[in-house]
Structure 1
Amino acid sequence: MPDDFLADSARAALSAEVRRLSGALRDAQRALAALGGTSLPGLHLVLEAGGRRALLPVAQVAEVVRMVALAPLPGAPAHVLGTFSWRGVPVVAVDLAAAAGARADLDLDARVVVLAGAPALGLAVERVAGTVDGPRLFEGDPAEAAPEGWRGSPLVAGLCADGGEVLPLLDPSPLRAALAGPGAPAEP
Structure 2
Amino acid sequence: MEFYGERIDVLGSGSYGKVHLVKIMSLDLSFGHLIAEKSCEEEIADSLVKEKEILDQFNGSPHIIQSHGCSTRIDYETKVFSLFLELANGGSLLDLMADYGGKIPEQHVKSYVEMILKGLVEIDSRGLVHSDLKPANILVFHQGDSVGTLNSGQSDERKMVLGSKPPGCVNR
* Greater RCO structure (CA 8 Å; 6+ sep): 1
* Structure with max Cα Rg: 1
TM-score between the two structures when normalised by the length of structure 1:
0.28
Give the number of the structure whose residues are more often strand, by fraction: 2
